[in-house]
Structure 1
Amino acid sequence: MAKYLDQTGVTTLWGKIKEKFVLKDGNKVLSTNDYTTAEKQKLGAIATGAQVNVIENVSVNGSALPVTTKGVNVTVPTKVSQVTNDSGFQTASQVSSAITKAVEGIASGFKYSVVDALPQTGKSDTIYLKANSGSGQNIYDEFIWVNSKWEQLGTKQIDLSGYMKKTDMVALTTSEIDAICV
């Protein structure tokens, strides 16, 4: 279900945003000075460009890799042919063959029948086309026989009574947004 933010929701959201952040005040910085002398001295003792991150060891699948000048080179295959196929993955020709076989199976088992009226019973491999009052590409209603009864395909009966229309939506104006964001 789609959600939207109304004027009350925007007002609430703006209030929560204002609670979390310090308001900018001209050319001033933060309104409180939480940066302690101890923190300043700690950072002042660190040399320019210094890093404390040191890689001590790296393993790939249980095998240690050499660490040189804080770096590790992990060789990763760049082609499928460099990897052993031990899980039965399919080749391109196997996939193509399977798709062709599946499509042929569908096409050979598919039938349709144009009828004036639906029979008492139908066949599960047949789509029955019954004329309707439509025009163009919509001159038949389509039916299939499922679980000993008729099922209509592609019915156009959709209840949209609970949905808003685009014309029912009214956007907040710039003035209304400005009034909220004070």
Structure 2
Amino acid sequence: MEKYLNSTGLTYFWNRLKNYFVKQESGKGLSTNDYTTAEKSKLSGVASGAQVNIIEQVKVNGNAITPSSKAVNITVPTKVSALNNDSGFQTASQVSSSIAAALSGVTSISFQIVDKLPTTGTNGVFYLVSDKHSDSSDAYDEYVWISATSKFEKIGNTDVDLSGYIKQSDITAITTAEIDTIAV
């Protein structure tokens, strides 16, 4: 049986956990001086506004730029059209054209129940291959032929396997005695 932490257990655990930490003293950020007098003196000697780690050179894509003041402004493209499309991403109109071209040869849709997929298919035909599914109203796997790739594409079934999930009836709240065992 799995355990979960409910509000009673969480309150109890929180109160136990607080005993492991030092309480903050009123008016102090730290309850002790954890750094040495020498370090404190060194820090006191740093001039107000001192800059130790100053950037000495700024580059954009490997090209050095020379700041005209203490500020550097690097222009970053905010539109895809300003970038090099080296991956061949498609625009909305290109996607629409591709879909229209793919559907242009389909003049009707039909469904064929087959024992197995044929070597090649026909555009506009849904091939239904018998398969046993968890849902009794879903008796087939559906495939369509994609002529551009010369392959079948499986377009669906409704199987869902929830066997690896925990059920509410399989869990109980952790007890304070169990928290005591963990918090030792």
Q: Which TM-score band (shorter chain)?
A: 0.5 to 0.7
Alignment of 1:87-102 (within 5 A): 88-102=88-102
- The alignment status of 1:141 with 2:146, answered yes or no, reads no
Q: Distance in 2 between matches of 1:43 and 1:5?
A: 51
- Contact 1:77–1:83 (CA<8 Å) still a contact in 2? yes
Instruction: Measure the CA separation in 2 of the matches of 1:31 and 1:83.
Output: 55
| Unmatched tracts of structure 1, length 5 or more | 8-13, 146-152
- For residue 139 of structure 2, give the secondary structure of its aligned residue in structure 1: strand
Residue 112 of structure 1: SS of its match in structure 2? strand
Aligned residue for 2:170? 168
- Provide the aligned length of Structure 1 versus Structure 2: 146
Distance in 2 of aligned mates of 1:60 and 1:157: 50
Residue equivalent to 1:127: 128
Cα deviation for residue 40 of structure 1 reads: 0.5
The whole-number CA distance in structure 2 between the counterparts of 1:39 and 1:83 is 50
User: Would you tell me which structure has more helix in proportion to its own residues?
Assistant: 1
Indicate how the Cα distance of structure 1 residues 25 and 59 shifts in structure 2: closer, same or farther if over 3 A, else same.
closer
CA contact (8 A) 1:127 1:143 kept: yes
* Alignment of structure 1 residues 3-152 onto 2, 5 Å: 23-25=21-23, 27=25, 33-85=33-85, 88-102=88-102, 104=103, 111-113=110-112, 121-124=115-118, 126-127=127-128, 138=137, 141-142=139-140
Structure 2, unaligned runs of 5 or more:
6-12, 122-126, 144-155
Contact 1:112 1:127 in 2 (8 A): yes
Identity value in percent: 42
Q: In structure 2, the residue corresponding to 1:170 is in which secondary structure?
A: strand
TM-score (norm. length: structure 2): 0.52
TM-score for both structures, normalised by structure 1: 0.53
What's the C-alpha RMSD, in Å, of the aligned pairs?
4.6
Highest relative contact order (Cα 8 Å, sep 6+), 1 or 2?
2
